[in-house]
A and B are shown apart, each in its own frame.
Chain A
Amino acid sequence: GAVVSQHPSWVICKSGTSVKIECRSLDFQATTMFWYRQFPKQSLMLMATSNEGSKATYEQGVEKDKFLINHASLTLSTLTVTSAHPEDSSFYICSASGPTSHGLQGEQFFGPGTRLTVL
């Protein structure tokens, strides 16, 4: 149980285009989903927290108009990187939290990540 998928696993795009990344909880209802970014050899950086049916809460310094987050259902959240530029190239990882057979005390289960390269 507690499986989270992400799609695509990698994407290459041209500068100025938009990229959408999907995050799905496959066997539990994710009341909250999180989006992280990780640069090589660096720690995870939380970008935003989204609750189903509500607007996402962005961390300080993260541009909400550039990184659009939608959490329309209990199993799906999307992150759209708008007008991507080379500096947006990174490893984007989602995680999900919700009632699972494992417990109810704040575990987050991570998707496999999406590697974005902007040319």
Chain B
Amino acid sequence: QKEVEQNSGPLSVPEGAIASLNCTYSDRVSQSFFWYRQYSGKSPELIMSIYSNGDKEDGRFTAQLNKASQYVSLLIRDSQPSDSATYLCAVNKHGNQGGKLIFGQGTELSVKP
């Protein structure tokens, strides 16, 4: 079992729809969770971080964390073609500054005009 798992996709949604990206992790004691966006040929960009159970909203993005289910998700509202990218879920097990991130394999999102 991989430590961090995501559906590789591609996930295709029409413009204006909600895109839902899911991630599960295996280590129950994991502390910090991140979503990165990576455009083709570019480096990852941090778009959301979440540390406690529940929802965290930032603009069109909402991260959801459920530690009991070991599940973290990212919702993108009003999806735009510019949101088309690979979304990486990452976990810092110990939540410490300087700790390694464990990445999922990424979900490719395609937003169709």
Contact = CB atoms under 8 A, between A and B. Distances in A.
Contacts of B88: 44
Nearest to B44: A110
A49 B45 CA distance: 19
Contacts of B95: 105-106
B71 interface: no
Interface residues of A, number: 26
Contact of B103 (A43, A98, A109): A43
Give the interface SS of chain B, mostly helix, strand, loop or mixed: loop
B105 A43 contact: yes
Contact of A105 (B42, B43, B92, B106): B92
Interface in A13-51: 31-32, 34, 43-44, 46, 49, 51
Interface string A84-96: 0000000101000
Contact of B43 (A49, A93, A98, A104): A93
A108 interface: yes
Interface residues of B, number: 26
Contacts of B51: 105
B98 A51 contact: yes
27 contacts: A2-B46, A31-B98, A34-B100, A34-B101, A43-B103, A43-B105, A44-B103, A46-B101, A91-B43, A97-B97, A97-B98, A98-B98, A99-B97, A102-B49, A105-B31, A105-B49, A105-B51, A106-B34, A106-B97, A106-B101, A107-B34, A107-B49, A108-B101, A110-B43, A110-B44, A112-B42, A113-B42
